[in-house]
Structure 1
Amino acid sequence: MGDNGANTKFRRVAFVTVGTTCFDALVRAVDSQTVKQELFTKGYTHLLIQMGRGLYIPTKSEGGDGSLAVDYFTFSSSIADHLRSASLVISHAGSGSIFETLQLGKPLIVVVNEDLMDNHQSELAEELAESKHLYYARPQTLNQTVADMDLKSLVPYSPGDATPVAKIINRFLSFPDD
């Protein structure tokens, strides 16, 4: 059987969300064998992918036997429930998804969609990553980010901390950072 009972005792879900967008590059990245193996190595048991309007269909898997259980759906009215039950969130760079996840105190990897022309979202993610509130990746660096992440080094985000947002607004208005 090979399973020493460790998997039945606890469930650690890595939840991927692309919001209402189409972000096939992210879905394809998390569905890759390397990312799934890194997540499994880090102790995650399940991968749940919210794929939005994407066309790429991930591979479902029952898990067990040294691999991750994988499931997916397009949209859900209960994204908040999925966020709450997740041990790790891998999200697109939408500010709503970012702040909702941080306010729930969940470890977060934000993956930037480089196909979007207007990439101000990545600036917010970069600022929050600099403050160590989250990890920041591109689809092609996601496996490395998962491999290297040390969730203990993340700093809890306090909803009252507007510094990252203020910095970005100032940059848009071209005020110097103090």
Structure 2
Amino acid sequence: MSDANDSSDSKKVVFVTVGTTSFDSLVKSVDTREVKEALFKKGYTHLLIQMGRGSYIPTKSAGEDGSLSVDHFTFSSSIAEFLKSASLVISHAGSGSIFETLKLRKPLIVVVNEDLMDNHQSELAEELAERNHLFCAHPNTLYETVSAMDSDSLVAYQPGNATPVAKFIDRFLGFTDE
């Protein structure tokens, strides 16, 4: 086991979110010994899992004996504070979760739910990964992604400027004389 967090008493939280859905394969994957050890070796100290409507219950741990502290919950009225306090986010491929995390400039691993039909979410995740804004994984590749990730290689996402489009629409609809 690595001594990654011996030199610092700071809390480094990995926040996992599945949104309002059931995504047991993600929760099961992040709850494996291999993934938890890989996160610990990267210096993370706490794992907080928002498990949604899933039926799989992850194992809680107080983090003794050189391991991650692990906790979980089903839903929250807002995950904004969890995202803000996270050092790393592991998320389902919902666009809201993705863009909220990118806006906060947090390292992000998006895990694609292969069980969804017509999975347009995977296209978004794969495109943003191609542009180096996030890491993209599947439940069965999460360990490899965590082990290989270098968050310094990520490029900050710059949202587009919608003002010219909004002005054009306003002119087109006659709301402005410009």
Equivalent residue, structure 1, for 2:146 = 146
Equivalent residue, structure 1, for 2:126 = 126
Q: Name the Cα RMSD after superposition.
A: 1.6
Q: Counterpart amino acid of 2:21?
A: T
- After superposition, residues 31-70 of structure 1 pair within 5 angstroms as 31-70=31-70
Deviations 1:54-108 (A, max 9, x none): 0000000000321000000000123000000000000000000000000000000
Question: Structure 2: any 5+ residue segments left out of the alignment?
Answer: 163-178
Equivalent residue, structure 2, for 1:9 = 9
| 1:137 and 2:144 correspond | no
Runs of 4+ in 1 over 6 A off after TM superposition: none
2:62 counterpart SS class: coil
1:100 counterpart SS class: helix
* 8 Å CA contact retained: 1:7, 1:45: no
Matched positions, count: 159
Q: 1:6 Cα deviation (Å)?
A: 3.3
Q: Distance in 2 between matches of 1:55 and 1:106?
A: 28
Q: Distance in 2 between matches of 1:110 and 1:134?
A: 7
Q: Counterpart amino acid of 2:66?
A: G
Q: Distance in 2 between matches of 1:89 and 1:111?
A: 11
Q: Counterpart amino acid of 1:132?
A: N
Q: Percent same amino acid among aligned pairs?
A: 72
Q: Distance in 2 between matches of 1:161 and 1:28?
A: 39
Q: Distance in 2 between matches of 1:7 and 1:16?
A: 25
TM-score (norm 2): 0.86
